[in-house]
C-alpha cells in the first residue's frame, strides 16, 4: 500500500489524469489540464470548473465569517473561469453541514454566495444540501462562456511575450499569518480582543474575501487584447509560472523588483521576518491572474494600474529564473505553503 502523502496532490492528479481516457465527445474541446474544461457552446466556448472547500483544511471558522466564506467559495471558482479569459454564467452549490450549524449560519453563508453571484453576474441554478458528520463542506461548480477567438490556455505562451500579473501578490498569505497569530492570542486568553488594526485591513480582506479578476477580463476585451497564455494565481506565483512555462514548453525571466507588492505586505513581512518576494512567490491564495501578451500588445497595457509587467518568456524550458537588480539569477521552484 502506498501512502497518499508520499504521492502528494500534484502526483495524485497526474496519476488520475494519466489513467483517464481521452475525451470522445465532439463537444469536448479540452479536458483535464487547464483552469477549466472547455466545450463547444455553438458560437462560443463553454467552460466548466469545480472546487471543493473543506473546513479545517481550507478554512478555519474561528476567524472566517461565513458570509465572507460564501463569497470566497464563489470567487475562487470564478477565478478559474477568468483564467480562461471567460466570464461566469451559472453556478451550482453543494453544501455539507453538520448539525451544529443553526439555520442562521446557513443563511449567512448563502448571503455571501448570493453577494458574489451579484458581484460577478452569475445565476445560481442548483445544488445539493446534505448532512456532514464533521464540519462544513462547500463544493461549487461554475459554467462560464468565452468567445471562441478569445479563449486563453496555459500552454500557448511564446518566446519574448511579456509576463504580466494583475493586482499585487503576497498579501493573502500575510493576512493568514495575522489571523493565525490572533487566533493563538485568543486561544491563550479568550478575554483578549484581537488587535487587528486598520493598517492591516487590506491583508485580512485579501485572505478572507479575495476578488476574482473578471474586471481585467472585461478590460482585455475592451482593449481587444487576447493574452497568449493565462493561469490564475491560487498557489503562489512560482508554482503557477512553472505550470504555464512547462505546459508551453518555454522558459522565463522574472525581475524580483517588478513583482507588485502592497505597502501593507512589506510592513507585515518585516514583522513576521518573511521576505515579501517569497510571500508573493510561494504564499498563494491571491487569486490574481498571471498572463503573457505579445510585446507589441503590451504597449496598450503599460499604463494600466491594475497590470504589471514582471518579466518575459524565453526559449529554454530549463531556465525559469528570478533575476535581481544586481543581475543575479536564481531558479524558481514551486513551494506551496498552504493546502488546497
Of residues 128-187, those binding its own copies (CB under 8 A): 128-135, 137, 139, 141, 143, 145
Subset of 14-53 contacting its own copies (CB under 8 A) = 15-16, 19-21, 23-25, 27-28, 30-32, 36-37, 39, 41-43, 46, 48-52
Toward its own copies, which CB reaches closer, 28 or 258? 28
Question: Under the criterion CB under 8 A, does residue 126 sit at the interface with its own copies?
Answer: yes
Q: What are phi and psi of 147, to 5 degrees?
A: -55, 145
Question: Under the criterion CB under 8 A, does residue 117 sit at the interface with its own copies?
Answer: yes
Toward its own copies, which CB reaches closer, 46 or 167? 46
Residue 211 neighbours by CB distance under 10 Å: 19
| 222 labeled binding residue | no
Q: How far is the CB of 44 from its own copies (least distance, A)?
A: 9
CA–CA separation, 9 and 6 (whole Å):
9
Q: How far is the CB of 9 from its own copies (least distance, A)?
A: 6
| Neighbouring C-alpha atoms within 13 Å toward the C-beta of 41 | 17
Toward its own copies, which CB reaches closer, 80 or 168? 80
| 270 labeled binding residue | no
Strands 288-293 and 229-233: antiparallel
Question: Under the criterion CB under 8 A, does residue 338 sit at the interface with its own copies?
Answer: no
| 337 labeled binding residue | yes
Toward its own copies, which CB reaches closer, 86 or 311? 86
The answer to whether 161 and 245 have CB atoms below 8 angstroms apart is no
CA–CA separation, 79 and 88 (whole Å):
9
Q: Which among 192, 84, 222, 199 has a CA at the least distance from the CA of 146?
A: 84
CA–CA separation, 287 and 212 (whole Å):
6
H-run or E-run covering 171 = helix 171-188
Toward its own copies, which CB reaches closer, 57 or 187? 57
In the block, residue with C-alpha cell 458570509: 67
| 110 labeled binding residue | yes
Q: How far is the CB of 54 from its own copies (least distance, A)?
A: 5
Strand order in the sheet with 28-30: 28-30, 37-41, 44-54, 137-147, 87-97, 123-131
Instruction: Report residue 336 as a C-alpha cell.
Output: 506551496
Toward its own copies, which CB reaches closer, 29 or 196? 29
| 63 labeled binding residue | no
Q: Tell which one of 65, 90, 225, 314 touches its own copies (CB under 8 A).
A: 90
Strands 37-41 and 162-166: unpaired
The answer to whether 46 and 28 have CB atoms below 8 angstroms apart is no
Q: How far is the CB of 165 from its own copies (least distance, A)?
A: 24
Toward its own copies, which CB reaches closer, 129 or 330? 129
Q: Is 182 helix (H, G, I), strand (E, B) or coil?
A: helix
Question: Under the criterion CB under 8 A, does residue 60 sit at the interface with its own copies?
Answer: no
Instruction: Report residue 198 as a C-alpha cell.
Output: 486598520
Exposure string of 132-141, with b = 16+ CB inside 10 Å and e = fewer, is: beebbbbbbb
Please state at what angle helix 201-208 crosses helix 171-188, rounded to 10 degrees.
100
Q: How far is the CB of 28 from its own copies (least distance, A)?
A: 5
For its own copies (CB under 8 A), the number of binding residues is: 79
Q: Tell which one of 60, 62, 107, 299 touches its own copies (CB under 8 A).
A: 107
| 234 labeled binding residue | yes
| 235 labeled binding residue | yes
Question: Under the criterion CB under 8 A, does residue 12 sit at the interface with its own copies?
Answer: yes
Question: Under the criterion CB under 8 A, does residue 243 sit at the interface with its own copies?
Answer: no
Which residues carry a binding-site annotation for ATP?
110, 127-128, 154, 234
Amino acid at each position: 500500500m502506498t501512502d497518499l502523502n508520499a504521492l502528494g496532490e500534484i502526483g495524485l492528479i497526474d496519476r488520475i489524469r494519466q489513467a483517464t481516457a481521452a475525451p470522445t465527445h465532439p463537444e469536448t474541446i479540452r479536458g483535464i489540464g487547464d483552469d477549466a474544461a472547455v466545450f463547444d457552446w455553438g458560437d462560443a466556448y463553454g467552460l466548466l470548473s469545480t472546487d471543493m472547500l473543506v473546513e479545517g483544511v481550507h478554512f478555519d471558522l474561528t476567524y472566517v465569517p461565513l458570509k465572507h466564506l460564501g463569497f470566497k467559495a464563489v470567487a475562487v471558482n470564478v477565478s478559474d473561469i477568468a483564467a480562461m479569459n471567460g466570464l461566469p454564467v451559472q453556478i451550482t452549490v453543494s453544501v455539507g453541514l453538520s448539525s451544529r450549524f443553526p439555520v442562521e449560519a446557513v443563511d449567512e453563508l448563502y448571503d455571501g454566495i448570493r453577494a458574489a453571484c451579484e458581484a460577478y453576474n452569475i445565476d445560481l441554478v442548483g445544488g445539493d444540501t446534505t448532512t456532514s458528520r464533521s464540519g462544513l463542506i462547500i463544493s461549487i461548480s461554475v459554467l462560464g462562456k468565452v468567445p471562441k477567438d478569445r479563449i486563453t490556455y496555459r500552454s500557448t505562451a511564446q518566446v519574448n511575450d511579456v509576463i504580466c500579473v494583475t493586482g499585487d501578490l503576497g498579501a493573502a498569505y500575510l493576512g493568514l499569518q495575522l489571523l493565525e497569530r490572533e487566533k493563538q492570542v485568543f486561544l491563550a486568553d479568550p478575554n483578549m480582543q484581537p488587535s487587528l488594526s486598520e493598517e492591516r485591513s487590506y491583508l485580512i480582506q485579501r485572505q478572507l474575501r479575495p476578488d476574482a479578476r473578471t474586471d481585467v477580463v472585461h478590460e482585455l476585451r475592451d482593449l481587444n487584447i487576447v493574452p497568449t497564455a493565462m493561469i490564475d494565481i491560487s498557489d503562489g506565483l512560482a508554482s503557477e509560472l512553472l505550470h504555464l512555462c512547462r505546459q508551453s514548453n518555454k522558459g522565463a525571466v522574472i525581475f524580483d523588483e517588478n513583482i507588485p507588492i502592497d505597502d501593507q505586505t512589506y510592513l507585515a513581512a518585516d514583522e513576521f521576518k518573511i521576505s515579501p518576494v517569497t510571500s508573493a512567490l510561494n504564499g498563494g491564495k491571491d487569486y490574481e491572474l498571471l498572463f503573457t501578451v505579445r510585446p507589441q500588445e503590451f504597449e496598450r497595457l503599460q499604463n494600466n494600474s491594475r497590470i504589471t509587467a514582471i518579466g518575459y518568456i524565453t526559449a529554454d524550458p530549463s531556465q525559469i529564473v528570478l533575476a535581481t537588480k544586481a543581475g543575479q539569477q536564481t531558479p524558481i521552484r514551486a513551494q506551496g505553503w498552504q493546502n488546497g
